[in-house]
C-alpha cells in the first residue's frame, strides 16, 4: 500500500510517497500555495494521489514543543480535513515537531548549497514526516 506524506506550510506543500511495501519515503514534489488567494494545491495533491495509487495520506501536524496546538497546527488540521472530504481517503495527522530542522540537517550533511536546499527542503521535510510514520508501523 502506497502512502503519501505532506508537509503543509504557508507557501508550499512538500509531498513524499512511500514505496509499495511501506518501508521508505521519497520526496516527489513541492507544490506552491497561496493562502491569501485561497489556492491550496488540493487538485495537485489529488492528481499525485491518483498517479501513485495512494491509499492513505499522512499530514504533518506541527505541535509546539510544549505539546500545544498553534496556528500552523490548526492550519494543517484544516488542510487534512479538507483532503479527507475531497479524496475520500484516510488522512492521519502525524506529530512533525522538528521535521524541517531534521531535513535541513540532512541536507547540510550532504553539503547541499543554500540555494538548492531552499528548493528541496519542503519535500525533504515531507519525507522525514512520512518516514517517521512508516518506521512507527514496521
What totals of helices (H) and strands (E) does the chain contain, helices first? 4, 5
For residues 31 and 51, the answer to whether their CB atoms sit within 8 Å is no
How far is the C-alpha of 34 from the C-alpha of 48, rounded, in Å?
Answer: 19
**pTM more than 0.75:** yes
Residue 108, pLDDT > 80, answer no
Determine the pLDDT at residue 102: 67
For position 96, what pLDDT does the model report?
81
More confident site: 120 or 126: 126
* 82-106 per-position pLDDT tens digit: 999 999 999 999 988 666 666 667 7
Q: How far apart are CA 75 and CA 77, in angstroms?
A: 5
Residue 23 dihedral angles phi and psi, to the nearest 5°: -100, -40
Amino acid 35: pLDDT: 75
- With a pLDDT cut of 90, the percent of the chain lying above it is 52
Domains detected in the chain: 2-137 (3.30.420.140)
Three cell numbers written together for 17: 510517497
Name the least confident of 72-81, 109-118, 124-133: 109-118
Amino acid at each position: 500500500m502506497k502512502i503519501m506524506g505532506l508537509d503543509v506550510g504557508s507557501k508550499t506543500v512538500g509531498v513524499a510517497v512511500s514505496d509499495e511495501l511501506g518501508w521508505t519515503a521519497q520526496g516527489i514534489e513541492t507544490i506552491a500555495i497561496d493562502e491569501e488567494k485561497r489556492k491550496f494545491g488540493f487538485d495537485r495533491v489529488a492528481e499525485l494521489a491518483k498517479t501513485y495509487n495512494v491509499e492513505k495520506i499522512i499530514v504533518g501536524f506541527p505541535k509546539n514543543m510544549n505539546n500545544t496546538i498553534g496556528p500552523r497546527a490548526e492550519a494543517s488540521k484544516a488542510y487534512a480535513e479538507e483532503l479527507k472530504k475531497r479524496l475520500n481517503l484516510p488522512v492521519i495527522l502525524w506529530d512533525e515537531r522538528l521535521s524541517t530542522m531534521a531535513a535541513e540537517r540532512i541536507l547540510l550533511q550532504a553539503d547541499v548549497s543554500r540555494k538548492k536546499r531552499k528548493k528541496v527542503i519542503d519535500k525533504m521535510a515531507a519525507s522525514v514526516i512520512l518516514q517517521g510514520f512508516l518506521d512507527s508501523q514496521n
